[in-house]
Amino acid sequence: MLDIKRQIKSVQSTKQITKAMEMVAAAKLRRAQEKAQAARPYAEKLKEVVSSIAAGTQGIQHPMLEKRPVKKTGYLVITSDRGLKGGYNANVLRKVSQTIKERHQSNDEFALFVIGRKGRDYFRRRGMPIVEDVTELPDSPTFADIKSIAYKAVKFFEEEQYDELNLFYNQFINAITQTPVEKRLLPLDDNTFSGGTASYEYEPSPESVLEQLLPKYAETIIYSALLDAKASEFGAQMTAMGSATKNATKMINSLTLTYNRARQAAITQEISEIVAGANAQA
């Protein structure tokens, strides 16, 4: 009975922790959603300006628009720094691993850029080539937090160190559903910039402005994906901690029932011993 009582107390303590973590994750999720939504107007305006240049300029030439035979591929993978997120990290890492296994025969055929300790440790344990990693990001990351890795990932494509750059992250659907997705980041598709209708004047020339804006646009896509991934991370944590809290409640109820049965059995045994003793004296 004492063992059961100690176990009940232990599970109750765990339940308090998981419940608190669920509430914290819910608050962080709300802020992450707000930040992701706030970043969209900038990305949309940047796309509008680039689309306007693309629509008004014939024969655009830029390394980021150049489609080359794919001899080597870059992958930028977004994970979290810590666990207790359900299948958040496992799902995206499994998708990346399957993709690499299907497309490549050796480590020389791809390069990895990793955001998050979980992803970094996963690839390091398997001896995969990591060009750069970023860890310990805040709950509300700014572009400055990933500027270095985003710049390098885009720059390596421009320098033809690989011929394609793909982005892997968990896309936020809702608090319960987060879907691991692959998005081709580079080369940029011409169709991405179709439909530009606004009229602008550029100095010194549309081509020069485009040369500056295209890398920024690619970096903005990476940052938007990070904000989406952060919302997914907190949604996954909230769901996982909610499930843990429910399981703890069920376990407490089960242990309490076992404890009550054991106590009843002990009381019954004591009564039987008392009655037997009284009968023996009689």
Q: In this predicted structure, what is the pLDDT of residue 59? A: 59
Q: What is the mean pLDDT of the chain?
A: 87
Spatial distance between the Cα atoms of 13 and 51, rounded to a whole number of angstroms: 56
CB atoms within 10 A of CB 5: 14
CA trace torsion 138, 140, 142, 145 (10° rounding): 20
Contact between 179 and 255 under an 8 Å Cβ cutoff? The reply is no
Q: Where are the beta strands (DSSP E) in the chain?
A: 73-78, 110-115, 130-134, 164-172, 178-186
Convert 240-263 into a string of H (helix), E (strand) and C (coil).
HHHHHHHHHHHHHHHHHHHHHHHH
Q: Is the pLDDT at 27 greater than 70, yes or no?
A: yes
List, in order, residues 6 or more apart from 18 with CB less than 8 Å away: 241, 244, 245, 248
Is 202's pLDDT higher than 80?
no
Q: Which residue has the higher pLDDT, 16 or 198?
A: 16
Kind of pairing between the strands at 110-115 and 178-186: unpaired
Q: Tell me the domains of the chain and their CATH numbers.
A: 21-239 (3.40.1380.10)
Q: Is residue 134 over pLDDT 60?
A: yes
Section 191-202 average pLDDT: 61
Q: How would DSSP label each residue in 55-101?
A: HH-SS---GGG-----SSEEEEEE--SS--STTHHHHHHHHHHHHHH
pLDDT-above-70 percentage for the chain: 93
Quote the pLDDT of residue 192: 59
Of residues 170 and 51, the one with the higher pLDDT is 170
Q: Is the pLDDT of residue 241 over 80?
A: yes
Q: Give me the pLDDT at residue 10, please.
A: 93
Give whichever of 126-140, 193-207, 263-277 has the largest mean pLDDT: 126-140
Query: Which of 33-42, 148-157, 232-241 shows the lowest per-residue confidence on average (mean pLDDT)?
Result: 33-42
The pLDDT value recorded for residue 185 is 87
User: What's residue 217's pLDDT?
Assistant: 86
pLDDT at 25 over 90: yes
Among all chains, which residue has been given the structure tokens 């176990």?
7
Give the C-alpha separation, 74 to 196, whole Å. Answer: 29
| Sole residue written with tokens 């390394």 | 63
Q: With contact defined as beta carbons under 8 Å apart, do 130 and 124 qualify? A: yes
Q: Which residue has the higher pLDDT, 279 or 107?
A: 107
Residue 100 has pLDDT above 80, yes or no: yes
Determine the pLDDT at residue 235: 93
Task: Please tell me whether the peptide bond between 141 and the residue prior to it is cis, using omega within 30 degrees of 0.
Answer: no
**How far from chain centre, in Å, is Cα 83?**
11
